[in-house]
C-alpha cells in the first residue's frame, strides 16, 4: 500500500472545478502615469517569480489619486496570486510580507473557501499545474489567461469531499510534508544570498578610501601594458589554455603570455568582466590583457577592478565596447604595496569561501527542489477522471 493510499484510508477523491472550492479576484487598473517611488506597493505580473511575490522592483501608488474603493484588491500575508498575461503567465506567487500591497490588472488572487480548501494545499497544486494553466491561457507568444477558464476548467483533487473535516486533515498532512522541502530550500537560498552580501560588504569596506588617505593614479601609471589578445584559433586539446572574456575557450601548444595577468572582456554583453589568470597561456582577440606593474599587486588589482564594475564605462548600445585607452585613463586609489597585499589576502579568503558556497549551495538547492517535485507529484497522484482534460 502506497503512502497516499494510507493517507486517504479508503476515502474517495473528487476532482472539482476550482471555482467550487475557491473564489477569485481580478486586479485593479492602476494607471502607470500615477506610479510613485514611495507609497503603497502594487503587485504586477513582473513581481511574480513562479514561487513567491518579489517586491525588489515594485511600483507604488497613492490612494489619494483614486476615487474608487480599492480595499478589495488588497494582498495580505499568505495570499496566492497568479500572472494572467505576459512572460510569466500561469506562474503563481505566495505573498510572505507583512506589508499590505494591491493587485494590478492582469494579476489575480485566489480566495479559498476555508471550510473546503487548505490555502497551502492549493499553492502546491498550482505549482504542479503551471504548464496546464499556461495551456489554458493559449500558450504561444501572447498568452492571455481568462479567470473564467481558469476557475471552471482547472480541476483540483479534493480527498474525502463529503467529509470536510477529514478532507482538510488530509490536505494539511500533504502540506506538512511538502512544506518541509520548501522550507529547507528557502533556508539554503537565504544562506547563499547572505554570504554574497557579506562578501560584497567587506569588499566595499576594504576597497574604500577616504579622500587624501592614499594616492590616486591612472591605470596607465600602474601597469606595464594594456593591450588586446591576439588568438583567433584554438583546439579541443593542448598543453596550454586559451582564455577569452568569460573564461576557458580551448587549448594551444604555443602560449603567447605568462605570469599573473588580468583579463577584461572587450566587447559584447560581458564587456568589463574581469578574470585573473596565471601560468603560461594565450588570450583571444576579444579580450584586453592588463599587465600590472610591481607597484600594483595583481590580486589586489583583480578585486579592485571587479569592484569598479568596468561595464559602466562601455560605450555603444548594440555592441558595448571597452578599449585599452579607456582603461588607461581610469583613476584608482593605490595604497602601499604592503596594504595591497593585506587586503588582497583577506578578500582572497572571502572569495574562496564564497565560491565554495556559490558552487555547493546551488547544487544542494537544485537537489532539494527535485526532491520536493518528486514528493509533490507523488502526493498529488490521485486517480484522475477522463473528463479532466485541458
Phi, psi at 263, each rounded to 5°: -115, 135
Q: Which string of DSSP letters, residue by residue, matches 93-147?
A: EE---SS-EEEBTTEEEEEE-TTT--HHHHHHHHHHTHHHHHHHTT-SSS-B--H
Q: What does pLDDT average to over the chain?
A: 89
Predicted pLDDT at 42: 97
2 band by pLDDT with thresholds 50, 70 and 90 = low
Distances (CA, A) of 142 to 135, 138, 152: 12, 8, 21
Among 85, 87, 90, 82, CA closest to 25: 82
DSSP 310: G
The residue written with cell numbers 544570498 in the block is 193
Question: pTM above 0.85?
Answer: no
Is residue 316 over pLDDT 70?
yes
CA dihedral 102, 104, 107, 109 (to 10 degrees): 30
Predicted pLDDT at 244: 87
- Please state the length of the chain: 390
Pairing status of strand 261-265 against strand 92-94: unpaired
- CA–CA distance, 158 with 166 (Å, rounded to integer): 11
Predicted pLDDT at 390: 44
Looking at the chain, list the stretches that DSSP marks H as alpha helix, in order from N- to C-terminal side: 3-8, 119-128, 130-136, 147-153, 164-206, 298-308, 324-328, 337-379
Predicted pLDDT at 358: 64
Is residue 352 over pLDDT 60?
yes
The residue written with cell numbers 603560461 in the block is 280
In the chain, % of residues over pLDDT 70: 96
Angle 233-234-237 from CA coordinates, rounded to 5°: 160
**What are the tens digits of pLDDT across the range 246-304?**
889 999 999 999 999 999 999 888 899 999 999 999 999 889 999 999 999 999 999 99
Among 124, 123, 121, 81, CA closest to 101: 81
**What are the tens digits of pLDDT across the range 149-208?**
999 999 999 999 899 999 999 999 999 999 888 888 788 878 878 888 888 888 899 999
Each residue of 180-199: b (16+ CB within 10 Å) or e?
ebbebbbebbeebeebeeeb
Distances (CA, A) of 275 to 251, 264, 296: 17, 7, 16
Residue ranges and CATH numbers for the domains of the chain are 14-163 (3.90.220.20), 215-334 (3.90.220.20)
**Among the listed ranges 265-274, 325-334, 381-390, which one has the minimum average pLDDT value?**
381-390
**What are the tens digits of pLDDT across the range 27-50?**
999 999 999 999 999 999 999 999
**Among the listed ranges 1-5, 229-233, 285-289, which one has the minimum average pLDDT value?**
1-5
Amino acid at each position: 500500500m502506497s503512502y497516499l493510499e494510507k493517507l486517504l484510508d479508503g476515502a474517495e477523491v473528487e476532482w472539482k472545478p476550482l471555482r467550487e472550492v475557491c473564489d477569485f479576484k481580478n486586479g485593479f487598473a492602476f494607471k502607470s502615469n500615477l506610479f510613485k517611488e514611495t507609497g503603497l506597493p502594487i503587485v504586477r505580473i513582473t513581481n511574480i517569480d513562479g514561487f513567491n511575490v518579489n517586491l525588489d522592483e515594485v511600483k507604488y501608488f497613492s490612494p489619494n489619486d483614486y476615487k474608487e474603493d480599492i480595499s478589495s484588491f488588497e494582498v495580505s500575508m499568505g495570499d496566492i496570486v497568479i500572472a494572467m498575461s505576459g512572460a510569466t503567465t500561469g506562474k503563481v506567487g505566495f505573498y510572505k510580507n507583512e506589508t499590505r500591497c494591491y493587485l494590478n490588472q492582469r494579476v489575480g488572487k485566489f480566495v479559498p473557501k476555508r471550510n473546503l480548501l487548505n490555502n497551502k494545499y492549493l499553492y502546491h497544486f498550482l505549482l504542479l499545474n503551471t504548464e496546464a494553466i499556461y495551456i489554458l491561457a493559449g500558450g504561444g507568444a501572447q498568452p492571455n489567461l481568462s479567470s473564467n477558464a481558469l476557475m471552471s476548467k482547472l480541476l483540483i483533487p479534493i480527498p474525502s469531499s463529503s467529509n470536510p473535516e477529514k478532507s482538510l486533515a488530509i490536505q494539511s498532512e500533504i502540506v506538512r510534508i511538502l512544506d518541509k522541502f520548501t522550507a529547507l530550500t528557502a533556508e539554503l537560498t537565504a544562506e547563499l544570498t547572505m554570504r554574497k552580501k557579506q562578501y560584497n560588504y567587506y569588499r566595499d569596506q576594504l576597497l574604500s578610501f577616504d579622500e587624501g588617505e592614499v594616492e590616486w593614479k591612472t591605470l596607465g601609471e600602474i601597469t606595464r601594458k594594456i593591450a588586446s589578445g591576439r588568438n583567433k584559433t584554438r583546439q579541443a586539446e593542448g598543453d596550454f589554455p586559451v582564455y577569452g572574456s568569460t573564461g576557458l575557450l580551448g587549448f594551444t601548444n604555443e602560449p603567447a603570455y605568462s605570469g599573473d595577468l588580468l583579463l577584461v572582456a572587450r566587447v559584447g554583453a560581458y564587456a568589463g568582466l574581469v578574470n585573473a589568470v596565471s601560468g603560461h597561456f594565450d588570450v583571444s582577440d576579444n579580450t584586453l590583457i592588463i599587465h600590472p606593474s610591481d607597484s600594483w599587486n595583481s590580486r589586489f588589482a583583480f578585486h579592485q577592478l571587479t569592484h569598479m564594475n568596468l561595464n559602466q564605462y562601455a560605450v555603444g548600445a548594440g555592441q558595448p565596447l571597452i578599449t585599452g585607452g579607456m582603461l588607461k585613463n581610469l583613476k584608482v586609489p593605490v595604497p602601499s604595496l604592503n596594504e595591497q597585499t593585506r587586503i588582497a589576502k583577506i578578500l582572497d579568503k572571502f572569495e574562496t569561501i564564497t565560491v565554495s558556497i556559490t558552487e555547493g549551495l546551488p547544487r544542494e538547492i537544485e537537489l532539494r527542489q527535485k526532491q520536493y517535485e518528486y514528493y509533490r507529484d507523488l502526493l498529488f497522484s490521485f486517480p484522475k477522471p477522463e473528463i479532466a482534460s485541458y
